[in-house]
Amino acid sequence: MTIAALTTEELAGQRLMVGIEGTTVDAHTAALLQTLKAGGVILFSRNIADPAQLATLCRALQDCARSCGLPPLLIAIDQEGGRVARLKAPFAVFPAPATWSGTAAAQGFGATSARDLQSVGINMDMAPVLDVLPTQGPSIMGDRCFGDDPRQVGRMGRAVVKSLQQGGIMAVGKHFPGIGRTLIDSHLDLPVADFTLSELESVDLVPFAAAIGAGVAGIMLSHILYRQLDHEFPASLSIFIARDLLRRAMGFDGLVLTDDLDMGAVKGRYDLETIAGQILAAEVDIALVCHSRPAMETLHAIFCRRLDGDAGQRQQAIAAVQRILSFKRRFLGHGA
């Protein structure tokens, strides 16, 4: 499908990745996808009963997109290993990333996870975690991280990226520019980090640079306020962090995603009009809204209005959707 064939509503919808309820594509879910023209769906434990059901769900989601005349969906999941793993037995179960012994273990995780995800129709994994732990003291991330050595985290993350993507699964490194040294859970509130850019470059950005070098398909932005870089907006909404640092300074030309906009760090703190404007201005490709249907619908409507009313934002949206469609063609085949 070409950009020229997409309506304003479809251009806006390709920028959305949404959560759904239940384990089937019922009338409610079908209507949601048809209304939003969504480009992606993210699945959670609530959507999974067993492998056969999950494969049926993914096929039905793609059938729904096809019936609406849309490109194939990105279907994503959080499968990190350890405590953040939506797929349970009989799928392969891995211990926490902090316990992996080296890059061979990371490669094994990526290759096995790619086979499991491919077998049920999932095409994107929100992994690896590229956050770096502090050398001393606690972290909100704990055993989800590969450790406190930025270069080792980079080597492990690179191995996961390469093995997932060699297996046909888009990898998404997270949480840019790094949340390993924070303590507040962004699901609940907005953490504040006081690091300078040079401090981030010497520690937190090292694994992301390694993942970019490995061709990582996506990078997820954190809901953290790095007040020495942007005193007003968290990374997920920051023009400086998403566009100037990640895109321009670090040369990342893959997919840039927000973390879930239903999280407490942003929900209620920033209105959806502001959120939409920042996402568009920061050249963020995909906005995640994992729970609230009203928020999904409102964000889509704002995107549509802005794309119709601002030629510059429409051109930016076209560039973003071109990136999205290029990854869909690469990983999902000829129907994209």
Catalytic (active site) residue 116:
no
Sign of the torsion formed by the C-alpha atoms of 89, 91, 96 and 99: positive
Sign of the torsion formed by the C-alpha atoms of 144, 148, 150 and 153: negative
Contact 175, 79 (CB under 8 A): no
Catalytic (active site) residue 187:
yes
Q: How many CB atoms lie within 10 A of CB 251?
A: 10
Residue 14, phi then psi, degrees to nearest 5: -65, -20
Contact 15, 317 (CB under 8 A): yes
Partnered with residue 192 across adjacent β-strands are 225
Distances (CA, A) of 193 to 97, 178, 183, 199, 231: 24, 10, 10, 11, 10
Provide DSSP, 34-51: HHHT-SEEEE-GGG-S-H
Q: Alpha-carbon Rg of the chain, whole angstroms?
A: 18
Closest CA to 88 of 111, 106, 113: 113
Helix, strand, coil percentages in the chain from 3-state DSSP, rounded to 5: 45, 15, 40
Closest CA to 121 of 46, 58, 42: 58
Q: Which of 149, 187, 291, 308 is catalytic?
A: 187
Q: Which of 125, 259, 260, 285 is catalytic?
A: 259
Which residues carry out catalysis?
187, 259
